[in-house]
Amino acid sequence: MKAIVVHEGGGPEVLKYEEVPDSVPADGQALVRIEAAGINHFDLSQRQAPEMAGATPPYTPGLDAAGTRADTGQRVLVTGALGTYAELIAADEDKVRPIPDSLDTARAAALGVAYKTAWACLQDAELSEGETLLVQAGSSGTGQAAIDIGRHLGATVYATAGPSKHDLLRREGAEPLAYDDEKIAELNAGVVFDPVLGERFELSLSALAPAGRLVTCGALDSPMVSVNMWPIIGKRLRIIGSGSASVTTEQLDEIIRLVGEGTLGGPVVDREVPLDQAADAHRLIEGRETFGKVVLRP
């Protein structure tokens, strides 16, 4: 089979398109023929420093894919299984979930990590109907998922992005803001979803109302932050770490159902790229030239 292989950490150029042995399922695994693979920011971080992100070269990257089971032909989503930048994957049964005919393959491949992460974050932050939600980096796959889920939960949603993506944020139902917009400090938000951190962390905190919650799943900028603790103490703010690992199989099936029936809008697929051009796809994401998700097609 064909797959992307990383032999050493580095830039997008380390993503090599190669012939590798076919995946063979062990007991408790399903063999899935991949039709589309979703790219996550985690893939980029892992590519840059594999050992720090749980991979030992040579390895095939990717955590999300959609396709069909080789044994039954059932349409499925694979999520949380390393090795989806390939034509085949042997994945644990609990990471292989059925998908309805109403959910096309590309959007299914874009669903997994992003929607699980946003779901976990907003649940852990206890976002409730009528609250204001600020989504930092709203044009990212996880940011777009947070906008979608936030609206589903009945929140008024604001989101940050570069000016060229503001119309796209409006289309998704969020009020767009520049990253340094003065309005951020006046939002009185119940929840801020911040996967960026870094130098904008204090601005995210300033957006919160008393007893507000900032929830983070990562650091697209930097995990190292400097913060004045007095506003946190004075406003009784909470900072919450969260992520996709806490989402149960039942919750994932519920997310799939909600997207399939249209209750949730579902992932926005910016573009589909041939698997052998995975390096170009990573460059597009690193250059912030995309909105939502990029999907690889074997």
pLDDT tens per residue, range 81-106: 999 999 999 999 999 999 999 999 99
The mean pLDDT of 150-157, rounded to a whole number, is 98
pLDDT band at 219 (very low <50, low <70, confident <90, very high): confident
Say yes or no to pLDDT of 131 above 90. yes
Say yes or no to pLDDT of 140 above 90. yes
What is this structure's pTM?
0.95
The b-or-e profile of 111-145 (16+ CB within 10 A means b, else e) is bbbbbbbbbbbbbbbebeeebbbbbbbbbbbbbbb
Q: Are 247 and 149 in contact (CB under 8 A)?
A: no
The mean pLDDT of 140-168, rounded to a whole number, is 98
The C-alpha atoms of residue 63 and residue 234 are separated, in whole angstroms, by 41
Number of domains in the chain: 2
- Residues 106, 165, single domain; the answer is no
Examine residue 98 and say whether the peptide bond preceding it is cis (omega within 30 degrees of 0): no
CA torsion angle 197 202 207 211 (round to 10): 100
pLDDT band at 110 (very low <50, low <70, confident <90, very high): very high
If you average pLDDT over every residue of the chain, what do you get?
Answer: 97
- Residues 102, 132, single domain; the answer is no
Q: Does 189 reside within a domain?
A: yes
Q: Give the chain's radius of gyration (CA, Å).
A: 19
Domain encompassing residue 284: 2-111+267-297
Say yes or no to pLDDT of 11 above 90. yes
The vertex-154 CA angle with 150 and 156, nearest 5°, equals: 70
Task: Tell me which residue has tokens 């991979």.
Answer: 55
The CATH number given to whatever domain includes residue 103 is 3.90.180.10
The C-alpha atoms of residue 230 and residue 96 are separated, in whole angstroms, by 46
Q: Does 136 reside within a domain?
A: yes
